[in-house]
Amino acid sequence: MESNAVVWFRKGLRIHDNPALDYACRGSSHIFPVFVLDPRYLHPDPSAFSLGSARAGLNRIRFLLDCLLDLDSSLRNLGSRLLVLRGHPEPASVICRILKDWNIRKVCYEFDTEPYGQARDRQVTDFARQLGIEVFSPVSHTLFDPAEVIKKNGGRPPLTYQSFVALAGKPPDPLAKTYSELPPVGNVGKVELLNIPTIEELGYRDIEQEEFSPFGGGESEALRRLNEVLKDKEWVANFEKPKGDPSAFWKPATTVLSPYLKFGCLSSRYFYHCLHSVYLTVGKHTSPPVSLVGQLLWREFFYTVAFGTPNFDQMRGNKICKQIPWKDDDKLLVAWREGRTGYPWIDAIMIQLKKWGWMHHLARHSVACFLTRGDLFIHWEKGRDVFERLLIDSDWAINNGNWLWLSCSAFFYQYHRIYSPISFGRKYDPDGKYIRHFLPVLKDMPNEYIYEPWTAPLSIQKKANCIIGKDYPRPVVVHDRASKDCRKKMGEAYAKVGSAEEEDDTAASESTTIQKRKRQT
């Protein structure tokens, strides 16, 4: 008798450590590996501020298409294939339809913690259960089940990294299963199957090559990149954030595995497991929060808080977010977004974001601080939107969590600590190689002026073929004055809504309680 299973890929675009795929194969005569193309994610939106769809910039769309091609090729090597469907009117209803049409017994998909994913999956789960179809939705995008961690913490998400780590414990091992072949694909009947489109077929034409990120998508590339990282055991063992040069771009100072984790081309459990194997062979190594394992735990921390906090992605109605009277200023926002603030360090980072869709963590710190509490006093939600669109690793929980952090709206409250848009970058890259690469208009500016070109005498500007105010903008604000003003406003906002110390006390006492609890057990 036929026993058909659907494995529905959304994130988790991989074969390794994939419990949904594993369960779908068990006892099934046929499996249907499905991906639904969502037009809102893929089709050009001419009203968006950058090339791309309503929900994603072109670099991330291209990354996703790479992931799909790679997944399809891996499935074909195992005697299966990816069934690509048109997501009309939207992905959930397409899945409901095929569950019926293909006489499905069980449907398997990775648990998704994002509000959008939760609503979509509820629709499918409800429908499937009504038809008596088994639903299997394992946690495999994260190391831990956020709901479990919240339960362990008495129903509230832990609000400090330390308290999270103390609660979380050791993650489960990745599945060791490898396949030589998969059950065959069943009869798809009249359902229309699509090819994985190229970006040109999606309607993106006449694009200059330099618009593209150097990072290609897919599980094969993720595993290749991971193996490169793991080869250098000393580097892995000594990894220590925030040490590392944010201006290093040809050979970044961190792994650049974030886009692969975002799309689930790389399993976080597998990554964690590999790091531990390296630690065992080298002996001495760094520890959380600064180690590489520590970075994975930051990811978990934000996933857990995001899952347990209503309205996590906004200031209003978000209990953990300080209410700050941010300013509305579209002109300044656009100058920041387009890399035209007149501060080369800030502008180069924003151009790297636009062209590559990835920047180093401390570079993200610099521009997020500059936009919000450091200089421009613009709402973190506006910056979050720009990152959300342009990053290839754009991740709902991590992006919102870090914007809350950087704007001193939650988690971190030392608003008087501001990154200088001049001296911070200079510390790492006194010759301005990073700036010269991403802002070629400044390529001939002498080192002395590269971080403050407006201070260069006109004769030097002429010699460098870059007149400030004409070829490159003057600074949109005077940093010393703007940052002083920001500190004052933050102080006033904090005084109004309860002091930062109170919040820190809550966090500290939470962590102490957990430590006490640990000592008792």
Task: Write out the residues near ligand FAD by the rule CB under 6 A.
Answer: 241, 254-258, 261-262, 295-296, 298-299, 302, 360-361, 364-365, 368, 387, 391, 393-395, 398-399, 402-403, 406
Closest-CA residue to 204 (of 80, 59, 93): 59
Taking residue 236's Cβ as centre, other Cβ atoms within 10 Å add up to: 23
Taking residue 282's Cβ as centre, other Cβ atoms within 10 Å add up to: 13
Complex with ligand FAD: residue 18 or 402, whichever CB lies closer: 402
Complex with ligand FAD: residue 212 or 405, whichever CB lies closer: 405
Complex with ligand FAD: residue 258 or 409, whichever CB lies closer: 258
Taking residue 90's Cβ as centre, other Cβ atoms within 10 Å add up to: 14
Complex with ligand FAD: residue 404 or 442, whichever CB lies closer: 404
Distance CA 413, CA 443 (A): 37
Complex with ligand FAD: residue 14 or 262, whichever CB lies closer: 262
Closest-CA residue to 57 (of 195, 199, 168): 199
Complex with ligand FAD: residue 105 or 373, whichever CB lies closer: 373
Complex with ligand FAD: residue 28 or 399, whichever CB lies closer: 399
CB of 453 to ligand FAD, least distance (A): 26
Complex with ligand FAD: residue 304 or 511, whichever CB lies closer: 304
Q: Rounded to the nearest 5°, which phi and psi values hold at 349?
A: -65, -40
Question: What contacts 399, CB < 8 A, 6 or more positions away?
Answer: 384, 387, 388, 391
361-369 helix and 380-390 helix, angle to the nearest 10 degrees:
140
CB of 290 to ligand FAD, least distance (A): 10
Rounded to a whole number of angstroms, the distance between the first and last alpha carbons of the chain is 52
Complex with ligand FAD: residue 81 or 273, whichever CB lies closer: 273
Question: What contacts 287, CB < 8 A, 6 or more positions away?
Answer: 293, 294
**Helices marked H in 392-499 — which ranges?**
396-406, 423-428, 433-438, 458-463, 479-497
Both tokens of residue 172?
A: 């489960």
CB of 396 to ligand FAD, least distance (A): 8
CA angle, 220 then 196 then 397, to 5°: 65
Max CA pair span of the chain: 85
CB of 380 to ligand FAD, least distance (A): 8
Collect contacts of 278-285 with beta carbons under 8 A, ≥24 apart: 278/230, 278/233, 278/236, 278/237, 279/236, 279/237, 281/233, 282/233, 282/234, 282/236, 282/237, 284/237, 285/236, 285/237, 285/238
CB of 452 to ligand FAD, least distance (A): 24
CB of 394 to ligand FAD, least distance (A): 5
CB of 200 to ligand FAD, least distance (A): 27
Complex with ligand FAD: residue 305 or 514, whichever CB lies closer: 305
CB of 252 to ligand FAD, least distance (A): 6
Question: What contacts 173, CB < 8 A, 6 or more positions away?
Answer: 269, 273
Alpha carbons within 13 A on the beta-carbon side of 243: 8
CB of 149 to ligand FAD, least distance (A): 15
Question: If you search the block for the tokens 């036929």, which residue do you land on?
Answer: 2
